[in-house]
Structure 1
Amino acid sequence: MSVLHSAPRYAPFAGARETLSAALGDMLVAAKEEHGEIVLTVQRDRIEDALRLLRDTQDYQQLMEMAGVDFPDRAERFEVVYMLLSLTRNHRIMVKVSTDEANPVPTVTTLWPNAGWLEREIYDMYGVLFAGNTDLRRILTDYGFEGHPFRKDFPLTGYQELRYSEEEKRVVYEPVKLAQDFRQFDFMSPWEGADYILPGDEKAAQAPAPPPVAEPKTTEKPSQTGAGEKANAEAAKHVATPPDGKDGGAAPAAPAPTESRPDKKPRKAKSADTTGSTETAKKPAAKRVRKPKTEGEA
């Protein structure tokens, strides 16, 4: 008996890498399978042809995502990664190309319109150029931003900041103004004692030190702590006294368990009738009135 399911049938990965490698031919640079995914590296100038072939002949219909990666030690430091999805086979593959700051990557907006936004994001964050993209503008950073934040050599702090000036009606650069009073972080715990005055302790540092105690109070004698034979005798007296207050008397017995107590007698009083407040009272039946007989009636 066949079972029908709304989800697409999943095709195994066995032989998928060899099939895709044979289909790409000389456009393929390297192919591998790792972490449960097939990764294909193709030539940069042939990326549009390679993705078109994977879309039209291998059923990878959708471009799900594009991402950039930076390897500063490489000659071609950037990688552009394309994530493709096959709806008919429920497969996902990754296609990569390598480039640098000067050599642009051919755009794939001719294949998938959503690639325009994704290419703009990679350009904004990494500085990768895409040849053929007619709207290659920044998409995440501010107007007039200089640099690309996701590069591994992008400075984390600087001496210039940009903001929109309402007076000049444009984005202006100006020296960084730090609003924080303390910028030297020594990671020293204040409970261990810092070599500087912590914020909020200025008044405590200026206050005069308290005078030293002339005679420190000690509790070496029993009379100072309340201990001794007198205190012990008084405590034993309270323990020896029986609970009923009589010398030599026995403590009262514990109450009988609940199960052995006799049942209570039912109450004699009757509860009030609450039918009128909970149910609709029925109207009394009308009494039949008998007509008096007349003289002519027998």
Structure 2
Amino acid sequence: MNTKAITRINESVGDRLFIGAIYTFLILVLIAVLYPLVFIVSASFSSASAVVSGRVWLFPVEPTLDGYKAIFNNSQIIQGFSNSLFYTVVGTFISVTITILLAYPLSKKTFYGRRFIMVLLVFTMIFDGGLIPLYLVVKNLNMIDTIWALLLPQALAVFQVIIARTFFQSTIPDELSEASEMDGCSETKFFWKVVLPLSKPILAVLVLMYAVMKWNMYFDALIYLKSEELFPLQIILRSILILNVESGGNIEEVLKLQGLKELMKYSLIVVSSLPVLVLYPFVQKHFVKGMLIGSIKG
């Protein structure tokens, strides 16, 4: 008797109904999550009149690239896209560097005071000074309306530090460090030559988490930045989403501008989501492994 036949015999009617209910629920969740994404992509490739009139449901209607042409012909959007790339790349590098340099010493049992430092870090996850004190600190450091206002105040996330510390404790054994010391290897050289090459999974986790956070950074830019040439793409997207078309001109011109605005909105959502969608497949394998090791073990 083969395995399939044994499985069919062991499964009762109740088990099959339960599994069927689970699959049905998961399919409904998939549709609920997938449909808005499909709709946005379809609307971005449809004509302005089809979008405004609500004729777009699943597939593009009257396919066109007018929305994407309008985006790439807008110098403000290009500038915002470039700024977001800069904030994401530089900000992620700073954040990952600080997180690793803090998490690795905290994972060492010989580091004096590491428990006290962890208590202080966890305390900041429960209580914080609030928005006004943070703004005053940034202002007193002369970072208002500068690129540093988006790079430094939110450079460190305690949750990421905890994950990285747990990863180092679970993956880098003390015996490996002791063996390297016996061979005359310094702590710095051990960190660069041994720890970092073994830490690719957690590095992928940190890069993806910080990159998504930096790319979607909106509130900090809204508070700290005043110059339009420093605005990230998310602020530009906000201005397009809430922009009201002036009522001047004839009714046909107003409807045309409204349609173009709606079309640009969907096209810009697709463009702003594209970098994260491109990044994730390259770090997916390490991301899953790093999350499992960094959050379950230790």
Query: Which one has more relative contact order, counting CA pairs under 8 Å at least 6 apart?
Result: 2
Which has the larger share of strand?
1
- The answer to whether TM tops 0.5 is no
TM class by shorter-chain length?
A: under 0.3
Per residue, is there more helix in 1 or in 2? Answer: 2
**Please, what TM-score do these two structures have when normalized by structure 2?**
0.18
Structure label with greater radius of gyration: 1
